[in-house]
Amino acid sequence: MGPGVPLKPGVVQEVLGAFVLAEAREEGEVAVTLGPRETALLADMPWPLRRSEWLAGRRVAKRLLDEAFGLPAERTQVVPLESGAPQVLVDGEPRAGLVLNISHTKGWAVAAAAGDRVGVDVCDDVDGVRIARIARRVFSAGEADACGAFASVQSQAAVWALKEAGLKLFIGGVFDPGARAIRVESLEPPVVTAKPAMRVALLRLPTAAVAVSRDV
């Protein structure tokens, strides 16, 4: 089955003090209640694949905000900061003390939200194999062997998700020096070293790994 605590699709789960929700992707553009800023952003988005992943991300994020924070979709908008990281508007205004992150793949859309910084990443098992191709760019010396990165397609997806979630914790766009900045020490239990230090959790969907990152 692969490393990680099972995450039930469609059910909000609390992990590391954050709330997480995953939904299986559907064909095409899913229905979601959008506010004026979101509607304008979508109108400027010509590419079908981008529109459908963006909408899937908004839908799962808004459901999470509703179920975990009691904020109905009519009151929330999820708009990009300059870095591309998502910002939550409530009744049109940025909501202090509410941080959201989103990740989407061909198979899944996942959101995580908390009172302070949180990163989330989902990696489909079929895409985890990419990590072998770019191993030299992604791993530090000895890292892949020590954490068992190549034990299975699921472990590869888990490593990828942990590294991306770690990078995304720094909402605002600190992506240098990239994946090697997050060293995966172990998958079971999930442990990474990074500067500054972070806590991580690993969750398992039927066909994908999900990682959540939090400040220490």
Ligand X SMILES: CC(C)(COP(=O)(O)OP(=O)(O)OC[C@H]1O[C@@H](n2cnc3c(N)ncnc32)[C@H](O)[C@@H]1OP(=O)(O)O)[C@@H](O)C(=O)NCCC(=O)NCCS
Q: Is 62 in the site for ligand X (CB under 6 A)?
A: no
| Binding segment (CB under 6 A) for ligand X, from list 65-73, 144-152, 167-175, 195-203 | 167-175
Whichever of 98 and 131 has its CB closer to ligand X, that residue is 131
Question: Residue from 124, 127, 143, 164 that binds ligand X (CB under 6 A)?
Answer: 164
| Binding segment (CB under 6 A) for ligand X, from list 14-22, 62-70, 82-90, 194-202 | 82-90
Residue 122: CB partners within 8 Å, gap ≥ 6? 22, 103, 104, 105, 108, 109, 110, 161, 205, 208, 209, 210
Question: Residue from 101, 154, 155, 213 that binds ligand X (CB under 6 A)?
Answer: 101
For the chain, give the longest Cα–Cα distance. Answer: 50
CA distances to 41, 110, 157, 200 from 92, in Å: 15, 23, 37, 32
Q: Is 59 in the site for ligand X (CB under 6 A)?
A: no
The residues of the shown chain that bind ligand X, judged by CB under 6 A, are: 53-54, 57, 83-86, 101-104, 121, 131, 138, 160, 163-164, 167-168, 171, 173, 175, 178-179
